[in-house]
Amino acid sequence: FYTKSHVSWFMICAVHAQVLGNESPVNSVFKFKLSMCPSTEANSTCTTETNPLTLDPPEVIGRYDDIVMVNCTTSYDFHDKMYWKVGQADPIEEEEISFVTLPLTLSNWSLNAKCNININDSIECSKNLEITVYKLPDVVSVVGPDVMVEGTEYPLVCDIINVTPLQNLNVKWYRGNETVHTQIVSGTSVTPVNVSLTLMVTAGRDLGGAHFRCEVELIFGANGPEFIPTATSSPYTAANLKVKWYRGNETVHTQMVSGTSVTPVNVSLTLMVTAGRDLAGAHFRCEVQLHLGPNGPESIPTVTSSPYTAAVHCEFLPIFSLM
Ligand SMILES: *[C@@H]1O[C@H](CO)[C@@H](O)[C@H](O)[C@H]1NC(C)=O
Ligand SMILES: *[C@@H]1O[C@H](CO)[C@@H](O)[C@H](O)[C@H]1NC(C)=O
Ligand SMILES: *[C@@H]1O[C@H](CO)[C@@H](O)[C@H](O)[C@H]1NC(C)=O
Ligand SMILES: *[C@@H]1O[C@H](CO)[C@@H](O)[C@H](O)[C@H]1NC(C)=O
Ligand SMILES: *[C@@H]1O[C@H](CO)[C@@H](O)[C@H](O)[C@H]1NC(C)=O
Ligand SMILES: *[C@@H]1O[C@H](CO)[C@@H](O)[C@H](O)[C@H]1NC(C)=O
Ligand SMILES: *[C@@H]1O[C@H](CO)[C@@H](O)[C@H](O)[C@H]1NC(C)=O
Ligand SMILES: *[C@@H]1O[C@H](CO)[C@@H](O)[C@H](O)[C@H]1NC(C)=O
């Protein structure tokens, strides 16, 4: 007595209620009416309450190029056909089944898929599958100035290349093993984009040997991957130069210079002195010490300039090349 479209709604409901089995007929009919039987004015629209389709998983969040399986199940076996529609592709229609499984390859940034059921010639229900395709960045790196002079603020920039979606991106800055800042990125994206974020640091004694990293996380809700997709930059390590100015055998000024240059750089520092009688014949020297933090060499590499008489400029060449 199952003849698809020739069966009236009332009959379909009654038949289904019997098929439901173990439960008492009264309960079954009642339950079925609540969930399935449209009122008499039902037309081709399918309300949330009458939609017999369930998607499992209800939402797809997957890495680009992943293949996921999605089940579309109908709570109701009597229908003309059910099928998945993905993009513009022609669907494969199935009859007399209670579920259709879709193997979905996430190789398109803007995929759309929906499951359809034709209950009879005039009632069609569908359910859209929410799809999020994510990609961890190809590169995460921290760049900072070659040279930083004590007491001044400088930007460290976290460059993130080819990541999506921005709306789920969370960036954490670490100094050593400690989180020093968390940035939530604004904006949205579907296809991969580049992002640069800045952390301001103040150059100072304590910067020497400090490791800075930035870490990218893609945070999704309950339907997200089991482990938070994460990518971390290699550390940016600032070396410190301690520059001591001597007048004769006396230290008159100490300055700290930080930086991360991997290749040698040239730095010039200036000591201002007031011209006066006492300056005549005074010998000025500057001494440079390379401070590499707790893991640096035990004896601090030191270079001293030859003395200058009444000059105020100090230049030195050998510099941080120690990464
Ligand atoms: C489909 O079901 C609706 C709702 O009960 C009914 O009004 C309509 O006549 C049915 N169409 C066909 C072709 O059976
Ligand atoms: C379908 O039914 C709804 C609610 O009963 C009504 O608002 C809508 O206009 C109807 N649509 C058509 C195409 O008949
Ligand atoms: C889809 O659902 C059917 C019926 O519940 C089940 O047998 C099958 O294993 C499911 N497939 C997947 C991929 O979940
Ligand atoms: C991705 O999907 C969209 C929407 O279905 C379609 O228009 C587009 O052509 C697809 N792109 C590729 C590369 O398949
Ligand atoms: C970071 O490392 C230091 C020393 O290695 C340790 O004492 C501290 O507990 C660590 N902190 C965290 C948050 O792991
Ligand atoms: C991101 O940066 C990479 C490398 O600099 C570049 O090749 C790519 O075109 C950029 N992508 C966008 C969307 O700007
Ligand atoms: C600095 O030099 C002067 C004269 O050469 C000497 O008297 C003095 O003890 C020295 N001071 C130190 C700290 O070495
Ligand atoms: C540093 O100065 C020396 C001497 O003037 C020069 O040969 C060298 O190229 C400079 N290095 C850099 C990185 O500018």
Residue 105 has pLDDT above 90, yes or no: yes
Beta bridge partners of 63: 134
The single-letter code of the amino acid at 79 is: H
Residue 51 has pLDDT above 50, yes or no: yes
CB of 67 closer than 6 angstroms to any ligand 3 atom: no
Question: Quick check: pTM over 0.75?
Answer: no
Supply 294's token pair: 């707790």
User: How confident is the model over 18-33, as a mean pLDDT?
Assistant: 40
CB of 41 closer than 6 angstroms to any ligand 2 atom: yes
Which ligand number lies closest to the CA of residue 71?
3
- pLDDT at site 102: 93
CB of 308 closer than 6 angstroms to any ligand 3 atom: no
Between residues 242 and 26, the one the model is more confident about: 242
The single-letter code of the amino acid at 171 is: V
Give the span between the Cα atoms of 143 and 235, in whole angstroms: 10
Residue 267 has pLDDT above 90, yes or no: no
- pLDDT at site 38: 41
Beta bridge partners of 133: 62
Question: What are phi and psi for residue 216, nearest 5 degrees?
Answer: -105, 130
292 C-beta neighbours (distance < 10 Å), count: 18
Which ligand number lies closest to the CA of residue 250?
7
Give me ligand 4 centre to Cα 83, in Å: 19
What average pLDDT does the chain have?
78
What SS3 class is residue 28? helix
Give me ligand 7 centre to Cα 285, in Å: 15
The single-letter code of the amino acid at 240 is: N
For the CA atoms of the chain, what is the radius of gyration?
35
- pLDDT at site 22: 45
> Which residue has its alpha carbon closest to ligand 5 atom 3?
177
pLDDT band at 44 (very low <50, low <70, confident <90, very high): low
Between residues 48 and 180, the one the model is more confident about: 180
The single-letter code of the amino acid at 119 is: I
Percent of the chain past pLDDT 90, that is, above it, reads 38
Give me ligand 6 centre to Cα 144, in Å: 20
- pLDDT at site 186: 87
- pLDDT at site 151: 81
Closest alpha carbon to 239 in 207, 199, 196, 268: 207
CB of 196 closer than 6 angstroms to any ligand 1 atom: no
Highest mean pLDDT pick, 21-30, 76-85, 156-165: 156-165
Residue 273 has pLDDT above 60, yes or no: yes
Residue 179 has pLDDT above 70, yes or no: yes
> Which residue has its alpha carbon closest to ligand 4 atom 5?
87
Lowest mean pLDDT among 46-50, 51-55, 134-138: 46-50
Q: How far is CA 217 from CA 170, 213, 278, in A?
A: 5, 13, 61
240 C-beta neighbours (distance < 10 Å), count: 26
- pLDDT at site 34: 35
Supply 240's token pair: 């410190």
The single-letter code of the amino acid at 205 is: R
Q: Are the CB atoms for 202 and 152 separated by under 8 Å?
A: yes
Highest mean pLDDT pick, 91-95, 174-178, 246-250: 174-178
Between residues 260 and 141, the one the model is more confident about: 141
117 C-beta neighbours (distance < 10 Å), count: 23
Give the span between the Cα atoms of 49 and 171, in whole angstroms: 41
pLDDT per position as a tens digit, 205-249? 777 678 899 999 999 988 999 999 999 999 888 777 778 888 888
- pLDDT at site 310: 58
pLDDT per position as a tens digit, 187-197? 999 999 999 99
Highest mean pLDDT pick, 40-54, 261-275, 276-290: 276-290
- Say whether the peptide bond before residue 165 is cis (omega within 30 degrees of 0): yes
Q: Which residues line ligand 8 (CB under 6 A)?
A: 264-266, 317
Give the span between the Cα atoms of 132 and 30, in whole angstroms: 38
Residue carrying the six token digits 């990125």? 185
Which ligand number lies closest to the CA of residue 88?
4
Give me ligand 8 centre to Cα 264, in Å: 9
Give me ligand 3 centre to Cα 71, in Å: 6
pLDDT band at 293 (very low <50, low <70, confident <90, very high): low
Give me ligand 5 centre to Cα 178, in Å: 7
- For the CA of 192, the nearest atom of ligand 6: 13
Q: Are the CB atoms for 321 and 303 separated by under 8 Å?
A: no
All structural domains of the chain? 4-134 (2.60.40.10), 139-237 (2.60.40.10), 239-316 (no CATH)
User: How confident is the model over 79-105, as a mean pLDDT?
Assistant: 88
What's the number of CA atoms in the CB half-sphere (13 Å) around residue 133?
Answer: 17
Give the span between the Cα atoms of 212 and 204, in whole angstroms: 15
Cβ-in-10-Å burial (0-12, 13-18, 19+) of 147 comes to buried
Give me ligand 5 centre to Cα 175, in Å: 11
Give me ligand 4 centre to Cα 110, in Å: 7
Residue 258 has pLDDT above 80, yes or no: no
Which ligand number lies closest to the CA of residue 123?
1
Q: Are the CB atoms for 166 and 195 separated by under 8 Å?
A: yes
- pLDDT at site 2: 40
- pLDDT at site 1: 36
**C-alpha angle with apex 312: 286 to 259, nearest 5 degrees?**
50
CB of 80 closer than 6 angstroms to any ligand 1 atom: no
